Amino acid sequence: MNTSTLRVRVARKTVEALDICLFELVDVNDAPLPAFSAGSHVDVHLPGGLTRQYSLCNDPTESHRYLIGVLKDPASRGGSKSMHEAVKEGDVLEISMPRNHFPLAHEARRNVLLAGGIGVTPILCMAERLANAGADFVMHYCARSKERTAFHDRITSSSFAHKVQFHFDDRAVEQKLDLPSLLAVPEPGTHLYVCGPQGFMDAVLGTARAQGWPEAQLHFEFFSAQVVKSDSDASFEVKLASSDRVIVVPADKTVAQALAEAGIDVPLSCEQGVCGTCLTRVLAGQPDHKDMYLTPAEQAANDQFLPCCSRSKSALLVLDL
Ligand code: FES
Reported as a single tens digit per residue, the pLDDT across 37-56 is 999 999 898 877 778 889 99
CB 121 within 8 A of CB 56: yes
Sheet arrangement for strand 280-284: 246-249, 236-240, 316-319, 280-284, 304-305
Q: CB under 8 Å to 206, separation ≥6 — which residues? A: none
Rounded CA-CA distance 255/233 in Å is 12
Rounded CA-CA distance 228/223 in Å is 16
Question: Domain 236-319 adopts which CATH fold?
Answer: Ubiquitin-like (UB roll) (3.10.20)
Q: How confident is the model at residue 295, as a pLDDT?
A: 84
**For the domain bounded by 5-96, which CATH number is listed?**
2.40.30.10
Rounded CA-CA distance 83/85 in Å is 6
Residue 93 CA neighbour count, 13 Å, CB half: 31
Q: How confident is the model at residue 293, as a pLDDT?
A: 86
Rounded CA-CA distance 80/19 in Å is 10
Task: Assess whether the C-beta atom of 308 lies below 6 angstroms from ligand 1.
Answer: yes
Q: How confident is the model at residue 77, as a pLDDT?
A: 67
Question: 181-221 pLDDT, tens per residue?
Answer: 999 989 999 999 999 988 899 999 999 999 999 999 999 98
Name the residue with higher pLDDT: 66 or 1: 66
Name the residue with higher pLDDT: 25 or 80: 25
* pTM reported for the whole predicted model: 0.80
Q: How confident is the model at residue 52, as a pLDDT?
A: 84
**For the domain bounded by 110-222, which CATH number is listed?**
3.40.50.80
Domain boundaries, the chain: 5-96, 110-222, 236-319
Rounded CA-CA distance 147/298 in Å is 39
* Percent of the chain residues topping a pLDDT of 70: 95
Q: How confident is the model at residue 229, as a pLDDT?
A: 64
Q: How confident is the model at residue 73, as a pLDDT?
A: 79
Q: CB under 8 Å to 165, separation ≥6 — which residues? A: 138, 139, 140, 141, 177
Rounded CA-CA distance 167/164 in Å is 10
- Kindly indicate the confidence band of residue 2, based on its pLDDT and cuts at 50, 70 and 90: very low
Residue 135 CA neighbour count, 13 Å, CB half: 24
Question: 60-77 pLDDT, tens per residue?
Answer: 999 999 999 999 877 666
CA of 279 to the centre of ligand 1 (A): 7
CB 310 within 8 A of CB 273: yes
Q: How confident is the model at residue 270, as a pLDDT?
A: 79
Task: Assess whether the C-beta atom of 278 lies below 6 angstroms from ligand 1.
Answer: yes
Give the distance from CA 191 to its chain's centroid.
Answer: 18
Task: Assess whether the C-beta atom of 321 lies below 6 angstroms from ligand 1.
Answer: no
Q: How confident is the model at residue 1, as a pLDDT?
A: 40
Q: How confident is the model at residue 228, as a pLDDT?
A: 60
Q: How much is the average pLDDT of 231-251? A: 91
In ligand 1, the atom with minimum distance to the C-alpha of 291 is: 3
93 to each of 60, 65, 279, how far by Cα in Å?
Answer: 21, 13, 25
Question: 127-172 pLDDT, tens per residue?
Answer: 999 999 999 999 999 999 999 999 999 999 999 999 999 999 999 9
Tell me the three-class secondary structure of the chain, residue by residue: CCCCEEEEEEEEEEEEECCEEEEEEEECCCCCCCCCCCCCEEEEECCCCCEEEEEECCCCCCCCCEEEEEECCCCCCCHHHHHHHCCCCCCEEEEECCECCCCCCCCCCEEEEEEEHHHHHHHHHHHHHHHHHCCCEEEEEEECCHHHCCCHHHHHCCCCHHHEEEEECCCCHHHCCCHHHHCCCCCCCEEEEEEECHHHHHHHHHHHHHCCCCHHHEEEEECCCCCCCCCCCCCEEEEECCCCCEEEECCCCCHHHHHHHCCCCCCCCCCCCCCCCCCEEEEECCEECCCCCCCHHHHHHCCEECCCCCEECCCEEEECC
Nearest CA to ligand 1 atom 3: 273
In ligand 1, the atom with minimum distance to the C-alpha of 274 is: 3
CA of 82 to the centre of ligand 1 (A): 20
Question: 92-118 pLDDT, tens per residue?
Answer: 999 999 989 899 998 999 999 999 999
Average pLDDT, the chain: 92
In ligand 1, the atom with minimum distance to the C-alpha of 271 is: 1
Task: Assess whether the C-beta atom of 276 lies below 6 angstroms from ligand 1.
Answer: yes
* Sign for the pseudo-dihedral over CA of 268, 225, 273, 111: negative
Q: How confident is the model at residue 51, as a pLDDT?
A: 80
Q: How confident is the model at residue 223, as a pLDDT?
A: 66
